[in-house]
């Protein structure tokens, strides 16, 4: 599976942004997917995850109520809807796919290239 994230950019505090992750490969619909982020000088951290059928979603506490993850298996795409963005949300965002839903970066099976999100105060 190959993953390609897009949709990042420069926004202001309080703005919204939608990230997309397009996947290639027929196995995408059977994989659990998620988003991680990495800010300069920090470790990569889990942001949100969604099960293969969309029936289960998980989030890091800092984004609950502001971010929403969704997927469209017909389009082989997973989305991250980000609302009320804060400067601390600024990072490179990576999409990921795994055989099980995980919050642990080292357990991720497939990584996409990141997309930069910058939030100005």
pLDDT at 26 over 80: no
In whole angstroms, give the CA distance from residue 76 to residue 27. 9
Q: Do residues 20 and 75 lie in contact, with contact meaning Cβ atoms separated by under 8 Å?
A: no
**Strand, helix or coil for residue 89:** helix
Confidence (pLDDT) at 120? 96
Separation CA 28–CA 25 (nearest Å): 6
Nearest to 70 by CA among 61, 83, 79, 57: 79
Three-point CA angle 56, 64, 111, nearest 5°? 60
Query: Which pLDDT value is given to residue 87?
Result: 97
Residue pLDDT, tens place only, 63-101: 999 999 999 999 999 999 999 999 999 999 999 999 999
pLDDT (average), residues 94-118: 96
Provide the pLDDT for residue 28. Answer: 87
């Amino acid at each position: 599976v190959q993953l390609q994230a897009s949709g990042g950019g420069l926004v202001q505090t309080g703005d919204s942004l939608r990230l997309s992750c397009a996947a290639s490969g027929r196995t995408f619909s059977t994989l659990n997917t998620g988003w991680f982020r990495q800010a300069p000088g920090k470790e990569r951290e889990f942001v949100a995850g969604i099960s293969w059928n969309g029936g289960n979603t998980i989030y890091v506490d800092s984004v609950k109520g502001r971010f929403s993850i969704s997927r469209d298996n017909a389009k082989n795409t997973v989305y991250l809807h980000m609302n009320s963005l804060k400067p601390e949300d600024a990072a490179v965002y990576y999409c990921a796919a795994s055989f099980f839903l995980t919050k642990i970066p080292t357990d991720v099976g497939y990584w996409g290239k990141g997309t930069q999100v910058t939030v100005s105060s």
